[in-house]
Structure 1
Amino acid sequence: MLTGPALAQATPDKNTPAHKQTQIQLVRNATLKISYADTTFLLDPMLAKKGAYPGFEGTYRSTLRNPLLELPMSVDEVISGVDAIIVTHTHLDHWDEAAQQLLPKDLPIFVQHEADAALIKSQGFKQVTVIHDRTEFEGITLTKTGGQHGTDDMYAVPQLAALLGEAMGVVFQAPGYKTTYVVGDTIWNGVVEQALNKHQPEVVILNTGYAQLEGFPNSIIMGKEDVTRTKNIAPQATIIGVHMDAVNHAALSRKELREFVKANSLTQSVKVPNDGEILKL
């Protein structure tokens, strides 16, 4: 039985503040609204109507038109309350023509490098900032993380390497809030593993659609096995799987990921939201 000082040590301090709430809404595909430390970010906006664009040439199910699904809300509702935008890279399914036309040109936008900054400035946006190792915005620290948007075999083909390009992830940190890591369009590699170990995130958002190119057996982004890999390194984290069901080359569906999560007894810590669904963490 604990008494005296030992009891005091074992009893949680009632004055220790709990984490303040982060709200994460999956809009569609990889488009997210993250309300973090009283600031709302819109990530990777793809805002077109269903079927607006041809399927991605040279990819799985390229005859299908993108997006495969309608937005679950109006564009006005998507934009409402947004304080800043983060574009992890400028592929169509993360930064489309509709977003370029419909988003207010004076909203702050954060990007991965000067090339993307120049492109987005050329589209009329006035406040474009490159996230370096650490960028501060409204009391929030944004940290750029790396990755690889495909396998070594894919990047060995120069034309394909140019098409795949670079993509970043972003870590959100603020006093009193859960460290949140948006991993971005990458396969599992040492850079992702290093970021998980370094930042010890309590929330991890994975792009788990397992998007595939013709002629290659593996994916250009993560899949269901990467949920398990993430869980092994960050066992206390809540993992959220997105970037499924909305574009032609995504080979892993939400239904399949949910079945995998259930079969591996991960339902308490892995969330697979529907379009429009809000998670409060």
Structure 2
Amino acid sequence: MRIHQLRSATIVLEIGPCRVIVDPMLGEQGAYPSLKVFSNRQRNPTVPLPATANVLLESITHCLITHCQKGHFDHLDRAAIKWLREKQIPVICTPHDARYLIRRGLNVASLPDDHHCPQPFLGGKIRTVTCTHGRGLVGRLMEHGVGYFIEIVGEPTLYLAGDTVLTDQIRRFVALHQPAVSVVPAGGACLDVGSEIIMGVEEVIEFTRSVAGRVIANHLEALNHCPVSREELAMAAERAEVAKRLLIPCDGEVLNIRTVRSGSRYLENGQPC
């Protein structure tokens, strides 16, 4: 398995012959408004796509969406909708998002609305995992979406957390399944009011300590409401003695994830190309 970090939450998974883009935000730098009103009103995304993006996009075979409504352009923007519609790439999503995406002319393959029942996916299995995209009043106004847990023979088990804070439900899920690789949102995003709506430094460190596998942090340094920097997170990982397992890729970086079976566990080695 290879994981390409494009920008923010947008990644590409290489799984066998398939290339799966997750939560595509493909618009140009500054194409969308600020996600804050009273401070740091920089337009989004704050950085361009990496130079490798255009070539990589030509190889995409599938798209996976965690959530996309209520203004979440950072997980599916206008440019991505246009691109997906033109290419007619199969878009895997929840039934809740399926109706929204079908109306936009996309080639939708909806998963059943059952968190407990794995479904066929690329010769393996996929299941949804509940997200909590913020707490309190702000949380009640957010589009919560889902994460995904992917199991494919010969590949490391993969947990895509989606946009979520660290909840007891997620703690129980990772304790039970112990994913070999987890991709978590680490930007500490917050709006003008309320607390963080995705994991920040402390929750990413706690999550990393809770799993034996590798953790990949993304959703960093691309949106104006995400204050956590890669350097800040890396320093925290060093202090917590989890830096060897917490990977913080730059935009455009590729991670090779190898698995070696040892007894009943997967040991993985992810390193930049």
Scaled to the shorter chain, the TM-score interval is: 0.7 to 0.9
**Inter-partner Cα distance in structure 1 for 2:38 and 2:201:** 19
Q: Does 1:151 align with 2:135?
A: yes
Q: Does 1:31 align with 2:10?
A: yes
> Which runs of structure 2 are paired with 1:5-20 in the superposition (5 Å)?
none
**Inter-partner Cα distance in structure 1 for 2:134 and 2:67:** 14
- If the length of structure 2 is used for normalisation, what is the TM-score? 0.86
Aligned to 1:98: 79
Q: Is the 8 A contact 2:166 2:207 kept in 1?
A: no
Aligned to 1:247: 223
Aligned to 2:260: none
- Residues 24, 100 of structure 1: alpha-carbon distance in 2 compared, 3 angstrom cutoff: same
Q: Say how many residue pairs are matched.
A: 250
Among 104, 108, 118, the residue aligned to 1:123: 104
Query: CA shift at 1:260, angstroms?
Result: 1.1
**Inter-partner Cα distance in structure 1 for 2:243 and 2:206:** 15
Aligned to 1:111: 93
Q: Is the 8 A contact 2:188 2:199 kept in 1?
A: yes
Q: Which runs of 5+ in 1 are unaligned?
A: 1-21, 156-160
Query: CA shift at 1:153, angstroms?
Result: 4.0
Q: Which runs of 5+ in 2 are unaligned?
A: 258-273
Aligned to 2:163: 185
Q: State the percentage of identical aligned residues.
A: 28
Q: Is the 8 A contact 1:43 1:85 kept in 2?
A: yes
Aligned to 1:48: 27
One-letter amino acid matched to 2:229:
S
Q: Kindly indicate which of the two structures has a greater share of residues assigned to strand.
A: 2
Aligned to 1:223: 200
**Inter-partner Cα distance in structure 2 for 1:75 and 1:153:** 37
Among 206, 221, 238, the residue aligned to 1:262: 238
Q: Does 1:135 align with 2:111?
A: no
DSSP 3-state at the match of 1:255: helix
- Residues 27, 280 of structure 1: alpha-carbon distance in 2 compared, 3 angstrom cutoff: same
DSSP 3-state at the match of 1:95: coil
**Inter-partner Cα distance in structure 1 for 2:124 and 2:18:** 9
One-letter amino acid matched to 1:225:
E
CA RMSD of aligned residues (A): 1.7
Q: Is the 8 A contact 2:36 2:225 kept in 1?
A: no
- If the length of structure 1 is used for normalisation, what is the TM-score? 0.84
What's the CA shift string for 1:40-73, capped at 9, x where partnerless?
2100000011001111244762x11000000002
